[in-house]
Every structure is written in C-alpha cells, then in structure tokens.
Chains A and B, each alone.
Chain A
Amino acid sequence: MSLVPILDRRVVLVSGKGGVGRTTASAALARAAARAGKRVLVTEIEEPAAQTQSSLARMFGREVLPTRPVLLAPGIHGCVLSTEHGTEQFLGDVFRVQTLARMALRNAALRRLLHAGPSFHEMGVFYHLLHLIRMTSPDGRPRFDFIVLDMPATGHTLALTGLPDILLRLVRRGPIASALREGQGWLNDRRTGTAIIVTIPEPLPVTESLELVAGLRSTRMDVGAIFVNRIPVDPFDDAQRAALAELLPDGPLYGKEELERLERARLSIERLREHARVPLVFVPQFDADGVGATEAMAEHLSEELRR
C-alpha cells in the first residue's frame, strides 16, 4: 500500500466511470473504516432532480440521504452534499450577525444567483464538505475522522478537485478565497486527502482510469489506490489450461465468452500494473448484490487495506 494508509486519511473521493461498482465500493470502504474504529461519514453530491433515488442510500437500506448526517449503520453516518445547504452555511459563517444572511437568503433573485451562478454550485458543495470536515465532537475531536465522497461522473470529480485553483485565480481575497484555501489544504495534502479510482478489468474502463489518474494529478490530487473490481476467478491451473485447449470445439459454446473475459481481465491488470503507478487493490466478483455486496466487499477491503 501507499506510504499513508488509506484509512488514515480524513477525506477520500471515490471516483470512476458509471457501472463499475463505484457506489458499492464507497459503501464498502465506509464499512471497512467503521470496522477499523473510524467515525465514518459517507456522502454523495445532491442531484438537482430531487426525485432521483440514491443508490448510495440503498446500500444502507434507505431511499435517500438527508442534508444533515444521520446514522446509517454502527459507526457510519451519511448525508448528501447540497449546494443550497453549503451556501446557507457559508453565508451564516461569513455574516456572524444572522440577520443579514437570512435577509439575503429570503431574496429570491439572490438565492438563484447563488444557486446557478459561476461555480456557485460546486462552491456550495465544496463548502458543505468543508463544514463537515470542520465539525467537532464535544470532546474537541473531529466529529467525523473518515469522510467518503462517492463522486458522480468523472468530469464532475475534476470540476470539484480543480475548483480551488480556478476560483482562486479570480477571487484572491475575502471569505471565499480563505474557504477555498482551507479546503484545498485538506484535499491536496496527501496526509489528509486522497482519491480512489474504481474500475473493472476491461480495456475501456482501464483506459479511462489511466486518463483519470493523470487528470487528478493535474489538479494536485493524490491517487491513493485503484480498486480493480469484479475480478473474475480463473478456476483453471496450468495443467487444466493445457487440457482445455484439447476440449474446446471451434464453433460457439457456452463458456467461451467467459473464457475471453478471463483473458481480457488478465491483460487489463497487466496494463494497470505497468502504467498506473498507483497501488492496486483487487476485489473479486461477489455473487450478492445491494447490501450483501457491500458487506462482502467491506470484509475483503478490511483485509486488503490492513496489509
């Protein structure tokens, strides 16, 4: 594993192309961290279409996640990162006198500006995340010492990790600038922040993961690991492989596609080993789905991340 174990970071962004099991991996990572005694918060970015069901919530047997952390499982809280909530929080923090903040938020045009204006959407999300990082318990320790963020499509990941640099070029002073610098401090310091890329051992997802590694590094984000998910189990030993060649007919046959998949998986892993220069964590294909899959994966990750 890397020099700083994943479970010792404060903020972990989980990224990856749709359909590779990224959300399952986020939930499993949260469970693995909770087993290791961390006070875990698992989050995702709120979608503008409010009706969208949350698959992250479903991993914990719920339909949606609220904006304030709720207990999902022992040691694990969950909430969405919401632009609106982040913006309100921000205004509240900037104007210690609450009247002005409240007045501002009652103004419809201003609310809309803050909702849709330049980068305000990402900024709201960013500030909400910062607020959750800052939260402390009565004993003064961080309220959450392991925050997992299940990121949407990879473009959005780079929009969030690249936000501080872009905005700081425009806004150099004032409360936004200091919030951005503080957040950047958490995310870009590899002792506290990292990104995990989830992928599957297939040619196109691996290509995109390699591109994402480069993209994240260009926003100065550490890549802590690539989780290679759904690795098919190769049941054949060398002798059986040789015998298999004698068995297979030329025409179509059930099982041939799975054999090709094994071969693609082998080549994909080779490519990752050669080019990613990031620790690889292998996750086998689990038969279960939903809550069952996250538990099986969490079990597996607990082992892997301890090494």
Chain B
Amino acid sequence: MSRLADHVRNKRIVICCGAGGVGKTTTSAALAVAAAQDGRRVLVLTIDPSKRLAEALGVTANTPDPIRVSPEREAEAGIRGGALSAWMLDPKQVSDATVARLVRDPARARELLDNPIYQQVTEMIAGMQEYTAMEALHGFVERDEYDLVILDTPPARNALNFLDAPRRLGEFLDGRIFQMLLPDRDGGGRLGGTTRRMASKVLGGVFGDEFYADLQVFFAAFSSIFAQLNGNAQKMRERLQQDDAIFLLVTSPVRTALDDALYFEDRIRELELPLGGLILNRSRHDVEDKPFPGPELLPAHATEVHKAALRNLRRLAERERQHEQEHQQLLSTLIEHAPADIEVLTVPEVPGGIDDLEGLGGLARWLLDDANAHLGAAAT
C-alpha cells in the first residue's frame, strides 16, 4: 500500500498546499473521495472551487453547515459505506460564528457584528482568509463528526503563505497595538503618554479623525476576542504538529517545480510540521503504451492528401511524445531529489479538467494506486 493510501485511511487532518493554478482543489476533492470510498466520514473544506467542481460536490456559498453529498451521487464516485461532505469556506461566516460563540452577552455580540469596521474586517485583515481556514479546521476537528478533514488552502502565488498567515495575524493581534488604539482610560497605561499622543496624532492624521474614532471603538470592543482567536490559532498550529495530521504539496509540471518542492520541504521541516508527500499533478509522463502513427495507417490507394495528413499527424504525435518525455524527466528529477521518506505521486493530465464525481472517483483510484507512488531517492 502506498503511504498516501495509508494516510487517507488513517490520518485525521490532511492539508493540501500549493501555488495557485496547480489543481489543488481538485486534488483535495479526489483525496476526500478516496477516503470516503474507503468507508470513512470525510469533510473537504475548500475556499474557492471552480463553479463546476462546486456543482459536482453539491456545495454553494454561504451555507451554515457542510453539505453531505447525496447517496446516489456518492455511488457515482464509487462511495459505498463512507460519507462525503463538502463546505465552501466563507471567512465572514466563520468569523461571525466565532464572535457569537465567544461573546456571551448577546447585546454585546450584536454591537460587534453591527460595527461598520467589523463588517469589512474579514475581507480586510491580512491573512484573515488563512486564519478563518484554520479556525474552521479547528472547529470541525474538535467536533468529531468526521473521521477525516481535508483542507484545501487559500490560493496564493506561494504555497507557504498559508503557513505564514497565522504568524502575521498574530503580530497584528499583538497586545501593544491594542494598547495604542484603546481609548485613554487610565492616563497612559503601560505605554506612557508620549507614545500614545504620538500614535494618536499619526493615526488621526492618516485616517482622518472620524475614522480614527470608529477604529478606537472597534478595537475596544474587539480586544478580548482577538486575544482568544490568537490562542486558537496557536493551538491549531500545535495540533498540526501531531502525527495524525499531514501536509501535502501539490505542484504542476513547470520548470520551477523542483525548486518549489525543495523550498517547501525545508520550510515545513523548520516549522516541525509533518510532510506527507509531493503530488505532481497534470503529469503527461508516459502512462500507456501506444503506437506512433506510421505509413501502415495509409489506405491502399493513398492520395497525396492522405500522405500530407499523415505528415501533420506525425508532427502532432511528435509534440505529444516530447511533452511526455519532459514530464518524465521532471518526475525523475523530483524522485531523485526527494528524501527517502517522502513519496512523490503522479496524477495524470485529464483533458478538459475534472468536473464530476465520477471523474473525481477515477482520480481517487489513481492517487491510491501503488504504481503511481515513488519513494524519494535522496539520502536523508
């Protein structure tokens, strides 16, 4: 059994990372289908699926809870016994639910939810999308309704933005920032009058006094909540270091794939997070034996037109073969450089993309097939 098959069968959290456009969402969904085929209760959390993939999974934006794929449709994906649910992550919704949970007094919760700054804040705070993904993951893992939660991380140019975001948010949530913004109740507090006066002058000048006043109200109402959110982010980070969680890097056959993978591996080890494997998506490396078009295709009384058509067909065939060779080369290089405990998996290019459960089911079987998994060859 490949290690990935083992992860899908036994882990509780799988996090798919990767730059934008590599097919991360499809891969996450396929892994979810694979686990459900194996009889597990699976939830896939996704941020921004293409419309057709969302339709295939049966999810729409703004639903309060995950949506279970209907048994008839599960059968299309080869799922019998397991259960597949999907949820489209909505930062605003996660954030509202968190406020409602943490603020016991309903009147105070209302006040926060109605604050004009709060209403924009989920879209505005750097890293908020990544943070709410963490928060949602935290919630679902705690609740224990699912055997496995798969997180499709927010799209970014860099696969590691997701790992950096909670740290960035943590900096923002730094207590001293609040001190500076909170209304002056006790004649300066820890910060001292000079700093506070300067901050007030700078921020008033930058934002205009009106907005600065709104901002102070917002922060006064929010300071305790932020502290708690920060704690959750930290807890989740530690939770992800446990060995029932796994990170996967999804990459596509581009020239920078090797550099990207090595960099990712370095960083993830530095953060002491478990790397579960590299998935090379849309690979066209030779997967089936097929003949090359030759003169045997010509009919008995071939005309010049037939021959010209064959010449052009051979040109296309040559291009196709060249693509396969390039991808084969890239795969070999990845295997050669990946450490011996890391698995490199390939996913074939599916012409036109995958947009239904049947397609995801096929992709799932492919992902778990031993023949498509290669252990790295580099010494660790």
Contacts and interface: CB of A to CB of B under 8 A. Distances in A.
Which among B22, B172, B254 has the highest number of chain A CB atoms within 10 Å?
A: B172
Contacts of B351: 257, 260-261, 264
B51 to A, nearest CB: 7
Interface of B is mostly: helix
Nearest to A171: B211
Which among B171, B255, B284 has the highest number of chain A CB atoms within 10 Å?
A: B171
Interface in A149-172: 152-155, 159, 166, 169-172
Contacts of B20: 17-18, 152-153
B313 A120 contact: no
B259 A53 contact: yes
A203 B355 CA distance: 11
Interface in A252-269: 252-255, 257-261, 264
A3 interface: no
B372 to A, nearest CB: 18
Interface string B135-163: 00000000000000000001111101100
A204 B205 CA distance: 47
Interface stretch (A135-143, A218-226, A241-249): A241-249
A203 B160 contact: no
Contacts of B290: 251-254
A17 B48 CA distance: 12
A153 B156 contact: yes
B317 interface: yes
Contacts of B313: 244, 247-248, 255, 259
B225 interface: no
Interface residues of B, number: 83
A176 interface: yes
B116 A116 contact: no
A205 B252 CA distance: 15
Given A116-B169, A171-B211, A176-B208, A166 B50 contact: no
Interface string A17-54: 11110000000000000000000000000011101110
B309 interface: yes
B254 A243 contact: no
Contacts of B263: 51
A: contact size bracket:
35 or more
Given A94-B206, A155-B155, A203 B211 contact: no
Interface of A is mostly: helix
Contacts of A17: 20-21
A4 B221 CA distance: 49
A98 interface: no
B136 to A, nearest CB: 17
A110 B207 CA distance: 13
Interface stretch (B69-77, B236-244, B299-307): B299-307
Given A153-B157, A247-B298, A252-B290, A117 B125 contact: yes
8 contacts: A19-B21, A20-B21, A153-B157, A155-B154, A240-B312, A249-B297, A253-B292, A255-B314
Which 7 A-B pairs give the minimum distances between C-beta atoms? A18-B21, A174-B208, A255-B317, A116-B172, A254-B317, A252-B290, A258-B316
Interface of B: 19-22, 48, 50-52, 116-117, 120-121, 123-127, 154-158, 160-161, 164, 168-169, 171-172, 174, 176-177, 179-181, 195, 198-199, 201-202, 205-211, 214, 252, 254-256, 259, 263, 284, 288, 290-293, 297-299, 303, 305-306, 308-310, 312-321, 351-353, 355
Given A90-B206, A202-B352, 13 more contacts: A19-B252, A53-B259, A109-B176, A110-B180, A153-B21, A155-B154, A235-B316, A244-B309, A247-B293, A251-B290, A255-B293, A255-B314, A255-B317
